[in-house]
Amino acid sequence: RQLDQALQQAQAATRVKSTFLATVSHELRTPMNGVIGMTSLLLDTPLSDEQRSFVQTIQQCGETQLTLINDVLECSKIEAGKLELECLDFQLRTTVEDVLSQFAERAQAKGLEITGLVHAAVPNALRGDPARLRQVLTNFMGNAIKFTERGEVTLQAFLESETPEGVVIRFEVTDTGIGISDDNQAKLFQPFTQADSSTTRKYGGTGLGLAISKQLIELMGGQVGLKSRVGHGTTFWCTAKFTKQPVCQPAIIPN
């Protein structure tokens, strides 16, 4: 009974912590939006070059801070069991194209090639949470581009398994970037973890993206993982379950 009591106390404490984080993050977001909004307005007024550069720095810092707050909010929401997935009809190929087009400019600026391939066997008309799927693929693609200096980044979707009602799709994002050592691979899906401390200095980031992606994928009934070789590149993969949209039957008109 004592063990049971201790477990309940621990679970209650986790819930209180998550609710506290969710509330605090929410309260922090409102003034941050004010700061960013006002700096945009300020940038539209006559400023000296020096003043403009100061305001741009404030804006950049504000945006970084807001991303961090949003990530912490998201993590605590998932931990508190408050995040519910949507169940919407969507076209998988459109979602994949949306993700790729977000990165076209950034990839071109770095001289990287990006390609997308949805294999022919993958059904298009699915039901699930396309926004959360996009969030995970965006995290994988964003990292792939960030940690690759030359070569290419590929996003692929394969049919892993199929039943009459649903499918499991496997997504893979492969890059030809810096790679991740075996030691570091194991810990990357934990919150606030980066491959090594030099990453933050060189590339920025918070180490929350993969932790959030893992939790979202688990909510979608899937798994995440990676394969990597230092200096050669990395493949991040995930699977997710979706329902198939019911096929419209043609109306039978009696003669």
- Binding residues for ligand ADP (CB under 6 A): 139, 143-144, 147, 175, 177-178, 180, 188, 194-195, 199, 205-210, 234
| Cβ–Cβ < 8 Å for 128, 242 | yes
**In this complex, which beta carbon is closest to ligand ADP, that of residue 22 or of residue 178?**
178
Q: Are strands 113-118 and 152-162 parallel, antiparallel or unpaired?
A: parallel
Q: Is 179 left (phi over 0), alpha (psi -120 to 50) or beta?
A: left
Q: Which is nearer to ligand ADP, 234 or 239 (CB)?
A: 234
Q: In this structure, what are the phi and psi dihedrals at residue 173, rounded to the nearest 5 degrees?
A: -115, 115
Q: How far is the CB of 1 from ligand ADP (least distance, A)?
A: 40
- Cα–Cα distance for residue pair 234/228, rounded to 1 Å: 4
Exposed/middle/buried for 10, CB within 10 Å: 0-12, 13-18, 19+? exposed
Q: Which residue type sits at 93? A: R
Q: Give the pair of three-digit tokens for residue 59.
A: 């804006």
C-alpha neighbours within 13 Å on the C-beta side of residue 163: 6
Residue 195 Cβ vs ligand ADP, minimum distance, rounded to whole Å: 3
Nearest distance in Å: CB 40, ligand ADP: 24
Q: Spell out the residues 6+ positions from residue 216 whose beta carbon is closer than 8 angstroms to its own.
A: 78, 132, 135, 136
Q: Which is nearer to ligand ADP, 126 or 141 (CB)?
A: 141
Taking the complex as a whole, the smallest distance from the CB of residue 227 to ligand ADP amounts, in Å, to 11
Q: Which amino acid is at 178?
A: I
User: For residues 58 and 115, what is the distance between their CA atoms, to the nearest angstrom?
Assistant: 35
Shortest distance, position 210 Cβ to ligand ADP, whole Å: 3
Nearer residue to ligand ADP within complex by CB, 25 or 199: 199
CB of 136 to ligand ADP, least distance (A): 10
Instruction: Tell me how far, at minimum, the Cβ of 111 lies from ligand ADP, in Å.
Output: 17
Closer residue to ligand ADP in complex, CB, 40/200? 200
166 or 205, CB closer to ligand ADP? 205
Q: Which is nearer to ligand ADP, 169 or 180 (CB)?
A: 180
Spatial CA neighbour of 126 closest among 250, 247, 249, 238: 247
